[in-house]
A = this chain, B = another copy of it.
Amino acid sequence: MPELRQDLFKNSWVVIATDVELKPRDFPINRSGAQHAIANAFCPFCEGQEATTPPELASYRQEGTAADTPGWQVRTVPNKYSAFNPEGSFAPQMDGIFTRADGFGQHEVIVETPRHDVDFHELPEEHIELVFKMLRQRYNTLAEDKRMKYLQIYKNRGLFAGASLSHSHSQMVGLPMVPETCRIMSRYYEENHACLMCKVLEEERAQGKRIVWESDYFTILCPYASRYSYETWIVPRRHTEHYGEITDQEISDLAVVVKRLLTVLMDKLENASYNIVFNTAPINVAYQPGHHWNMEITPRLIVTNGVEMGTGYHVNPVSPEIAARVIREKLGE
């Protein structure tokens, strides 16, 4: 029996089919034989190709090796094909009845490994820790720039997640505007005098059926109004607003969680494309309570179509209760 579920975080609805467990082969992308992998003739992220990227902004590298040479484990560079200009500021102007501004913003690439042939979840836990430390460092560095109002950390993995290079990497965009999703979180706090994510954690732990895993510091769950099949969230149980506040202990735990979870998902979903999106609090604005950072992992087994584009309502054929059970079982193996 299909079900409509309200998405409290997007102020929208999701259509969920509640009684079928779809196999990866049941999704049109896979049935059509389309490949999630990307073949690149040349990879600028490989060790030895440092000169083909803009000069590095930060790196963790062997002592004694120079910037923009081999010897690094994780390396951050400006995005060469950035859609944003890091110079200037956000100054909206009218253009008739429309509003425009110069495309001010910062766009960085975090290359997660010098090796081309290793997927993110195949990296050792200690290496994944380095990636999360680099993200924390770049988050806190960019947050010092008072022109930035929001930092979007994300990962595109595979063709159907919008990646254009297969070499494992994440990205960070510093934006001069605060996204609507942040306003939904603060409005919830205003109206309910409580953090929406803390309330959701409480409710999910009480209901139990969508909880995938409780690690030392994180609750892993398939959200009530999952927009994507097998969508999984990693939420710090400690009410923390900014990703930049993550501690070393939390990072160690997160690396274990992400490696095991992605290994299970990639195995179950036959190496499907996926995105990771970090939701976090706005920066350099008047303080608004109600934010609680988290990571969303969204496998891209279905291409969004005219329904989603027209109505904003996602249609998801796999209920989060089924997805959570499947992932829990695989994690227990």
Select which of B31, B82, B96, B103 is within 8 A of A16 by beta carbon.
Answer: B103
Kindly state the interface size class of chain A when it binds its partner: 35 or more
Question: Given the complex of chains A and B, what is the CA–CA distance between A82 and B317 in angstroms?
Answer: 10
| A113 lies within 8 A of chain B by Cβ | no
| A83 lies within 8 A of chain B by Cβ | yes
Stretch from A46-54, A69-77, A200-208 forming part of the interface with B: A200-208
Is A83 a contact partner of B315 (Cβ separation < 8 A)?
yes
CB distance from A121 to the nearest CB of B (A): 17
Select which of B35, B96, B275 is within 8 A of A309 by beta carbon.
Answer: B275
Q: Which residue of B lies closest to A207 (CB)?
A: B96
Is B98 a contact partner of A305 (Cβ separation < 8 A)?
no
| A146 lies within 8 A of chain B by Cβ | no
Cβ–Cβ < 8 Å partners of A98 in chain B: 5-6, 8, 203, 224-225
Copies in the complex: 2
CB distance from A154 to the nearest CB of B (A): 3
CB distance from A119 to the nearest CB of B (A): 17
Q: Is the interface of A mostly helix, strand, loop or mixed?
A: mixed
Is B3 a contact partner of A103 (Cβ separation < 8 A)?
yes
Write the A305-332 contact mask toward B (1 if CB under 8 angstroms, else 0): 1111111110101000000000000000
Cβ–Cβ < 8 Å partners of A207 in chain B: 96
Select which of B159, B171, B277, B306 is within 8 A of A171 by beta carbon.
Answer: B306
Cβ–Cβ < 8 Å partners of A102 in chain B: 1-4
| A278 lies within 8 A of chain B by Cβ | yes
Is B306 a contact partner of A154 (Cβ separation < 8 A)?
yes
Question: Given the complex of chains A and B, what is the CA–CA distance between A318 and B309 in angstroms?
Answer: 19
Is A179 a contact partner of B311 (Cβ separation < 8 A)?
yes
Stretch from A57-65, A84-92, A134-142, A262-270 forming part of the interface with B: A84-92
Is B4 a contact partner of A100 (Cβ separation < 8 A)?
yes
CB distance from A273 to the nearest CB of B (A): 8
Is A305 a contact partner of B161 (Cβ separation < 8 A)?
yes
Cβ–Cβ < 8 Å partners of A200 in chain B: 97
Question: Given the complex of chains A and B, what is the CA–CA distance between A176 and B83 in angstroms?
Answer: 39
CB distance from A38 to the nearest CB of B (A): 5
Select which of B4, B8, B179 is within 8 A of A313 by beta carbon.
Answer: B179
| A281 lies within 8 A of chain B by Cβ | no
Is A278 a contact partner of B310 (Cβ separation < 8 A)?
yes
| A234 lies within 8 A of chain B by Cβ | no
| A162 lies within 8 A of chain B by Cβ | yes
Chain A to chain B contacts (Cβ below 8 Å), 30 pairs: A1-B85, A1-B102, A2-B103, A2-B105, A3-B100, A4-B102, A4-B176, A6-B99, A6-B100, A8-B97, A12-B180, A16-B103, A28-B38, A28-B159, A28-B163, A32-B35, A97-B200, A154-B307, A154-B310, A162-B306, A162-B308, A171-B306, A175-B311, A179-B312, A275-B305, A276-B306, A277-B306, A277-B309, A277-B310, A279-B310
Going nearest first, the 9 A-B pairs with the smallest beta carbon separation are: A154-B306, A162-B305, A2-B103, A28-B164, A6-B99, A162-B303, A277-B310, A179-B311, A156-B305
